[in-house]
A = this chain, B = another copy of it.
Amino acid sequence: MESKPNIQDVANLANVSIATVSRVINNQGGVRKVTEERILKAIKELGYIRSAAARTMKLKETNTIGVIVPDIKNPFFPLVMAGIEQKAREKEYFTILSSTNESPKIEEEIVKNFIERGVDGVIITTANENGDHLKLLEEQGIPVVAVDRSIKKLEVDTVLVDNKKGAYQAVQQLILQGHEKISIICGPLNTTPGLERYLGYQQALADYKIDLDDRYVIQGDFGEQSGYQCTEKLFGLDEKPTAIFSSNNMMTIGCMKALEDLNWRLGSEVSFIGFDDVDIATFLNPKLSVVARPMNSIGEIAFLLLHERIGLKGNLPKREYSLAPELKIRQSCRLVNQTF
């Protein structure tokens, strides 16, 4: 085939008008059986595939949703993505994914590009919760669902896990085992998960009348490297913590690497709970206790919320969906009196 055939080519070959071809392509009925077959044959013969661009121009809808994540290499997001895709496919929606690398600038480009492409909706874990750069979406009337991180300046549906509760439970568990010198490796406090997990930590300490010690609150950036470095810092403290709570999966991995390199013995010398389950959790010795999140459900719910909005075009109130995390106690947290 030389250049791509269009609907006119099909019509010519089948000896009908383009309107009739269109009817067949879109299964609208009202076409005589024989005619339809002739058209189908022509389509096959030419290898005709309709142009989404032309179609979009008429219909103003693409049946496509855009997904924006900050770091495709963080396994959390592919898992959420899988949930989104699954539901999307059921509703005959198509999904396109882009990763911002945590850069608000790239995120803005992607948003603009998604709008150009006419996505019907966007699911986003933003690199900048402030949300100014997302105003564009609002202006265009494109529904947005925020996942994992909320968006300040935008009234959008949000799917979160109860971060505070998850962190609270983890720290509570450590406290109940007798720990008092409990450190938190924080995520960025200008992100929802970073802040809320810190708040959970704080709350747990307060509820059990343990003074918050600034030396034990240490600032990471959700990256593996920073988990490593934070752990090193904690190890360098005169009075080392007896327990560590890590605010996300990547930092947990970095933390584990550091523990090993520092020969700081997990479980016996330092108890540990991390936010988010990780592959390595059950392979470590002792096995890692974690706060687990239902990634697949998060994705599914995000799509469902978005889909409702796309259907309506009207004004649903802003909805917030909060899923319960699950504390999985394995072996990496020990009674403190077993520590020495």
A residues engaging B (CB < 8 A)? 1, 3-4, 47, 49-57, 62, 72-73, 75, 77-79, 81-82, 85, 89, 94-99, 106, 112-113, 115-118, 136, 139-141, 253, 256-257, 260, 278-280, 282-285
| Pairs across A and B, CB under 8 Å, 21 listed | A1-B139, A3-B141, A4-B140, A51-B57, A51-B118, A52-B53, A52-B116, A52-B117, A53-B118, A55-B116, A72-B78, A72-B81, A72-B82, A75-B78, A77-B78, A89-B106, A95-B98, A96-B98, A260-B282, A260-B283, A283-B283
Q: Closest B-chain residue to A113, C-beta based?
A: B94
Q: How far is the CA of A260 from the CA of B284 in the complex (A)?
A: 11
Residues on B with C-beta less than 8 A from A98 are 85, 94-97
Establish whether residues B99 and A96, one from each chain, have CB atoms under 8 Å apart when the complex forms: no
Residues on B with C-beta less than 8 A from A94 are 98, 113
Given contacts A1-B140, A72-B82, A73-B78, contact A116 B50 (CB under 8 A): yes
Stoichiometry, copies per complex: 2
Residues on B with C-beta less than 8 A from A112 are 49
Given contacts A73-B78, A280-B280, contact A52 B97 (CB under 8 A): no
Residues on B with C-beta less than 8 A from A62 are 53
Q: Within the complex, what minimum Cβ distance (angstroms) separates A117 from chain B? A: 5
Establish whether residues B99 and A47, one from each chain, have CB atoms under 8 Å apart when the complex forms: no
Residues on B with C-beta less than 8 A from A253 are 279
Q: How far is the CA of A113 from the CA of B62 in the complex (A)?
A: 11
Other contacts beyond A253-B279, A256-B283: 4, CB < 8 A: A4-B141, A49-B136, A53-B117, A260-B282
Residues on B with C-beta less than 8 A from A54 are 53, 57
Q: Within the complex, what minimum Cβ distance (angstroms) separates A25 from chain B? A: 11
Q: Within the complex, what minimum Cβ distance (angstroms) separates A74 from chain B? A: 8
Q: How far is the CA of A117 from the CA of B139 in the complex (A)?
A: 25
Establish whether residues B57 and A53, one from each chain, have CB atoms under 8 Å apart when the complex forms: yes
Q: How far is the CA of A42 from the CA of B136 in the complex (A)?
A: 15
Most chain B C-beta atoms within 10 Å of own C-beta, residue among A56, A89, A141: A56
Establish whether residues B285 and A52, one from each chain, have CB atoms under 8 Å apart when the complex forms: no
Establish whether residues A283 and B282, one from each chain, have CB atoms under 8 Å apart when the complex forms: no
The 5 closest A-B pairs by CB, nearest first: A53-B56, A52-B116, A96-B96, A53-B53, A97-B97
Establish whether residues B57 and A82, one from each chain, have CB atoms under 8 Å apart when the complex forms: no
Q: Within the complex, what minimum Cβ distance (angstroms) separates A314 from chain B? A: 15
Q: Within the complex, what minimum Cβ distance (angstroms) separates A258 from chain B? A: 12
Residues on B with C-beta less than 8 A from A260 are 282-283
